[in-house]
Amino acid sequence: MTKQNDVQIGQDKFKEQCGVLGMLSDERIMNVAQFIYTGLMALQHRGQEAAGIAIMRQGRPIARYRDVGLVNDVLSPEKITGLLGNIALGHVRYGTVASSSNVQCAQPWFFQSNEVNFAIVFNGTITNYAPLRKRLEEKGHIFTTDVDTEVISHLIAANFETSADWIEIIKILMHILDGSYAIIIMTEQGDLYGFRDPMGFKPLCYGEFVAGNGDEARIQVMASETCAIDALSGKVLGHVMPGEIIHLEMGKPPHSEAIMRSERHALCMFEFVYFANNTSELDGISVYDVRKKLGKNLAKIDPVESTNAIVVPVPDSGRSAALGYSQASNIPFEEALIKNRYITRTFIMPGQDKRRSLVNLKLFPDKKTIKGKDIILIDDSIVRGTTTEKIVRLLKANGAKSVHLRISCPPIRYPCYMGIDFPTRHELMASCHPVDEICKKLGADSLIYQSMEGLIDSIGLQKEELCMACLDKDYPLKNPPCLDLLEETFTKNR
């Protein structure tokens, strides 16, 4: 447990909740677990608190292994050697609703009842979790955790009593559930069903790769991001559309079915700004291209007039936007802050060393590049502002003449209840202070945020196709939340 005075790295960034992965091959390939490991390593940025695998051989029971920790520790080669099977699910988790350090909350989730057995992986947040759970409990369902996945599993089981058709059951789920979800289910028959909520908050794609020793066995795959398929040297075949199901069955090509159409889509804009891997494509849009364009659009707003300026990214989150800014403004790009690669997010600052800022350990300033320069410092966002303030101070302490903050996302003023761990309103700097006050508090010489128009233009989708609720309070849910109530619930559960 973290002591009160300890500082954990990564506190001042938003956290994605999960990454999901599913694979299916024919029976020539029984070591699918090793490919799950590779795919999860590529999805590690989506969750670093727990990882797991569920695996089966057609006609045999589902085996599962999960634990708290990084993929490399939880699913190390020694641990997965004995996990044989040709159909599998994988998951990386960062939890907000339930205790993160509890292995019971790690996924894949496995559900067993008289009616149905299945494994499930989930990314998102079910915003009507509480009333759904209450209704199920009244019907006699017993819960062992507070995770959304358990409610979804019980809903599936409850509906299995009247129908054994998975497509029908997923259709019912889409009508009942509110919130964001990208889910993959592995049935006891060995089929995989992947689906996204009707607004498509969370990404999900599918593809295939070739494995085996020359006998060209094709493995079908579904994943949160295309970078997982790329890591397997595979081919992306498509993106699961909002409200669509992709059914993978042995010996057949992927079968898709549009279940619930919504006029309003809501792909999370923050996946593009920060969460997703730079090399991924979300719904066919390159994350790297979006980030560079965010920088280009930012460069158009209130340019810094100086012949002595350099563009410096906050590593690694500001790098692509800084490159775009530099290209659009013709101001040189310089890596004046170098990240200490050995300080990971699990690093705990020793209590007795707390006088020294964690930023001093995390970032090495290159004095000769910084000295006497007007620094245009690019980052993706400001959450509480604590880290940003320290970076500004670090640059000035190392000789920067001035520091001009440029943020590639518009100000984040409202919490997220669709699967991202956001602070409450009073913890969000932009929620409580006007821009000039934030600039002063951070010790910067100027501060410019991205415009809403610049963000939408950079992604290239219509406003009605994106979720931007943390910017404009327009929550695209069936039942938009009462912020006071939700903040109270989420704070209690943290």
Cβ-defined contacts of 110-116 (< 8 Å, 24+): 110/54, 110/62, 110/64, 111/153, 111/154, 111/156, 111/157, 113/157, 113/160, 115/157, 115/160, 115/161, 116/156, 116/157, 116/160, 116/164, 116/188
Q: Which residues contact 291 (CB under 8 A, 6 or more apart)?
A: 272, 273, 278, 320, 321, 324, 408, 458
Nearer to ligand SF4 among residue 70 and residue 420 (C-beta): 420
Query: Catalytic site residue 227?
Result: no
- Give the interface size with ligand SF4 as a residue count (CB under 6 A): 11
Given the rule CB under 6 A, which of 311-319, 327-335, 441-449, 463-471 is the region that contacts ligand SF4?
A: 463-471
Cβ–Cβ < 8 Å for 418, 410: no
CB nearer to ligand SF4: pick between 367 and 478: 478
- And the tokens for 100? 């993160």
Of the pair 75, 470, the CB lying nearest ligand SF4 is at 470
Q: If we measure between CA atoms, which residue out of 127, 98, 131, 123 comes closest to residue 493?
A: 98
Smallest separation, CB 23 to ligand SF4 (Å): 27
> Contact at 8 Å (CB) between 259 and 285?
no
Residue 442 in the binding site for ligand SF4 (CB under 6 A): no
| Residue 8 C-beta: closest distance to ligand SF4, Å | 21
Helix axes 148-160, 166-176, angle to 10 degrees: 130
Residue 394 binding ligand SF4, by CB under 6 A: no
- Residue closest to ligand SF4 (Cβ): 416
Nearest to 37 by CA among 85, 7, 97, 80: 80
User: Pick from 157, 311, 420, 477: which binds ligand SF4 (CB under 6 A)?
Assistant: 420
Which pairing describes strands 267-268 and 255-258: parallel, antiparallel, or unpaired? unpaired
Interface of this chain with ligand SF4, residues 262 to 321, rule: CB under 6 A? 268-270
Q: Which stretch binds ligand SF4 (CB under 6 A): 158-166, 233-241, 399-407, 467-475?
A: 467-475
Q: Which of 135-143, 291-299, 367-375, 413-421 is the region at the interface with ligand SF4 (rule: CB under 6 A)?
A: 413-421
Pick the catalytic residue from 18, 105, 268, 416: 18
Q: Name which position in 418, 439, 455, 456 contacts ligand SF4 (CB under 6 A).
A: 418
Q: What gap in Å lies between CA 194 and CA 41, rounded to an integer? A: 20
Three-point CA angle 190, 238, 22, nearest 5°: 30
Residue 360: which residues within 8 A CB-CB, separation 6 or more? 394
Q: How far is the CB of 416 from ligand SF4 (least distance, A)?
A: 3
Residue 456 binds to ligand SF4 (criterion: CB under 6 A) = no
x/- contact string, 330-349, with ligand SF4 (CB under 6 A)?
--------------------
470 counts as binding ligand SF4 under rule CB under 6 A: yes
According to DSSP, residue 450 is labeled P
Q: How far is the CB of 280 from ligand SF4 (least distance, A)?
A: 16
Distances (CA, A) of 44 to 16, 19, 24, 52, 382: 10, 8, 21, 12, 23
Of 201, 206, 272, 325, the one binding ligand SF4 (CB under 6 A) is: 201
| Span of 278-286, 300-308, 314-322, 465-473 interacting with ligand SF4 by CB under 6 A | 465-473
CA 492 to chain CA mean position, Å: 22
Q: Does 468 bind ligand SF4 (CB under 6 A)?
A: yes
Binding of residue 461 to ligand SF4 (CB under 6 A): no
Give the binding site for ligand SF4 (CB under 6 A): 201, 268-270, 416, 418, 420, 467-470
